[in-house]
Amino acid sequence: MISEHPRVRFAPSPTGYLHVGGLRTALYNYLFAKNNNGKFILRIEDTDRNRYVEGAVENLIAALKWVGLEYEEGPDKGGNYGPYMQSERLDIYKKYAQELVAQKKAYYCFCTPERLSQVRDEQQKQGLQPKYDKHCLSLSAEEIEEKLKNNVPYVIRMNIEPDMKIAFEDVIRGSVEFDSNIIDDQVLIKSDGYPTYHLANVVDDHLMKITHVIRGEEWLSSTPKHVLLYDFFGWEKPVFAHLPLLLNPDRSKLSKRQGDVAVEDYRAKGYLKDALVNFVALLGWNAGDDKEYYELEEMVEKFSLERVNKSGAVFNIEKLNWLNAEHLRKKPDEELLSMLKDELEVSKYKGKIFSDKYLLLVIEAMKERVSFVKEYIEKSPYFFEAPEEYDQDVIKKRWKEGSAENILKLAEKFSALQDPVKEDYETALRQTAEELGIGTGKLIHPVRLAVSGVGGGPGLFDILYIIGKDETISRLKRAAEKIKI
Given 94, 134, 256, 413, which residue is catalytic?
A: 256
For residue 328, being part of any structural domain is answered with no
Told to judge if 357 belongs to the known catalytic residues of this protein, a careful annotator would answer no
pLDDT at residue number 206 = 98
Residues 182 and 306 in one domain: no
Put simply, whether the predicted model's pTM sits higher than 0.95 gets the answer no
So what's the pLDDT on residue 400? 94
> 142 with 281, same domain?
no
Q: What pLDDT does residue 64 have? A: 97
> Are the C-beta atoms of 289 and 340 separated by less than 8 Å?
no
152 and 198 belong to one structural domain: yes
Q: Which amino acid is at 59?
A: N
Q: Which of 283, 314, 345 is the last residue of a domain?
A: 314
In contact, 52 and 46? CB cutoff 8 Å: yes
- The SS3 call for residue 77 is coil
Judgement on whether residues 406 and 305 belong to the same structural domain of the protein: no
- Same domain, residue pair 116 and 199: yes
Residue 35 located in a structural domain: yes
Host domain of residue 227: 89-243
Q: Is residue 323 part of a domain?
A: no
Determine, yes or no, domain membership for 326: no
In this structure, the answer to whether residues 109 and 184 fall within a common structural domain is yes
pLDDT tens, position by position, for the chain (485 residues)? 455 799 999 999 998 889 999 999 999 999 999 999 999 999 999 988 778 888 899 999 999 999 999 999 999 999 999 999 999 999 999 999 999 999 999 999 999 999 999 999 999 999 999 999 999 999 999 999 999 999 999 999 999 999 999 999 999 999 999 999 999 999 999 999 999 999 999 999 999 999 999 999 999 999 999 999 999 999 999 999 999 999 888 888 876 555 457 899 999 999 999 999 999 999 999 998 889 999 999 999 999 999 999 999 999 999 999 999 999 999 999 999 999 999 999 999 999 999 999 999 999 999 999 999 999 999 999 999 999 999 999 999 999 999 999 999 999 999 999 999 999 999 999 999 999 999 999 999 999 999 999 999 999 999 999 999 999 999 999 999 999 87
Q: Which CATH number does the domain housing residue 60 bear?
A: 3.40.50.620
Residue at 405 is within a domain: yes
Let me know whether 373 and 418 are in one domain: no
Position 281, amino acid: A
pLDDT value, residue 15: 85
Q: What is the structure's pLDDT at 252?
A: 83
DSSP 135-185: GGGG--HHHHHHHHHTT---EEEE-PPSS-EEEEEETTTEEEEEEGGGS--
**Residue 291 and residue 163 share a domain:** no
Could you tell me if 376 and 398 lie in one domain? no
Residue 1 placed within a domain: no
Asked if 58 and 112 sit in the same domain, the reply is no
319 domain residue, yes or no: no
Q: Which of 343, 361, 383 marks a domain boundary?
A: 383
Give the pLDDT score at 23: 96
Q: Let me know whether 140 and 74 are in one domain.
A: no
The predicted pLDDT at position 103 comes to: 97
CATH of the domain at 467: 1.10.10.350
The pLDDT, as a whole number, for residue 122 is: 96
Listed residue (313, 335, 179, 183) closest to 246, CA to CA: 313
CA atoms within 13 A on the CB side of 438: 20
Same domain? For 95 and 165 the reply is yes
Amino acid letter, 66:
W
Domain termination residue (choose one: 314, 343, 360):
314
Determine, yes or no, domain membership for 399: yes
Domains held by the chain: number: 4
What is residue 259's predicted lDDT score, i.e. its pLDDT?
Answer: 45
